[in-house]
Amino acid sequence: MLKPGAKGGILNKRAEELAAERGASCSFKGFEGYPANICLSRNNEIVHGFPFDKVIEEGDIVGLDLGIKYKGFFTDSAVTVVIPYSSVGTGLRSVPTEIKKKQRLANTAFDCLKNSLKFCTPGYRLGDIGHSIQDLAEKRGYSVVKNLVGHGVGYTVHEAPLVPNYGKRGSGIRLQPGMVLAIEPMVNAGTDNVVMDKNDGWTFLTADGSPSAHFEWTVAITNNEPIVLTPLDWVENEQLRKKNEDKQLP
């Protein structure tokens, strides 16, 4: 539904309907006073953006964050989508530079999330997860937000421990089987400094107005490999499709 002209209020309502159809509910609404079912953050908005009065436009980079409650358990996930211009083709060479830059930023945030799974097994520590995210983002010329972090999740929306997107190898709490973590890289094109939107008291913005990207998985730590409880398979499929198209360019 994230297309030019899409209205945030309709997206917010549809999320509630889709959850109810499956016997679930959107867990953000009412949590610490948050008024919506989803968080919809655009361009220089990092997280916690209100959806209500927003209209999706061509060229936007849009973060969609959703928490679900189902049979007493909670998950948390987020995806960032770059909205293309309808007047250009799908080939890489026909895409405006602005879109390419935003897509590279979004891809990096998702790559940071996927890369962190290497360190989501017993024996590693939270600092290993944070270091892997920070290291990859900074190597590509971006910054990671340090004022906002991931968290435990499972029996409530937010639980201990905090899961920073930065850190030192071998530092922090040691991972144990049974932990469930909401890992959520927030990657900025510019500074890592953030400011609060004074109008709503919820939305975090990049201090320099640069675009931001946000991906999130709920990940269960086991005795062996981690289990991603909120997979975003369609995102990876879309990235693969675009790469295949790019290879076919002359």
Query: Each residue of 189-219: pLDDT tens digit?
Result: 999 999 999 999 999 999 999 999 999 999 9
Integer CA distances (angstroms), 238 to 23, 139, 218, 233, 235, in order: 29, 24, 21, 9, 5
Tokens of 142: 């971006």
Q: Is residue 70 a contact partner of residue 10, using CB atoms and an 8 Å limit?
A: no
**Angle (CA) 69 75 77, round 5°:** 125
pLDDT of residue 249: 47
Q: Let me know if domain 8-247 sits in CATH 1.10.3720.10.
A: no
pLDDT of residue 147: 97
Q: Which mean pLDDT values do the consecutive 10-residue runs of the chain (250 residues) have?
A: 96 98 97 97 98 96 98 97 76 72 96 97 97 98 98 97 98 97 98 97 98 98 96 74 58
pLDDT of residue 250: 43
CA atoms 68, 71, 74, 79: torsion sign = negative
Q: How far, in Å, CA of 133 to CA of 144, rounded?
A: 8
pLDDT of residue 242: 64
CA atoms 35, 41, 45, 47: torsion sign = positive
Helix, strand or coil, per DSSP, at residue 160: strand
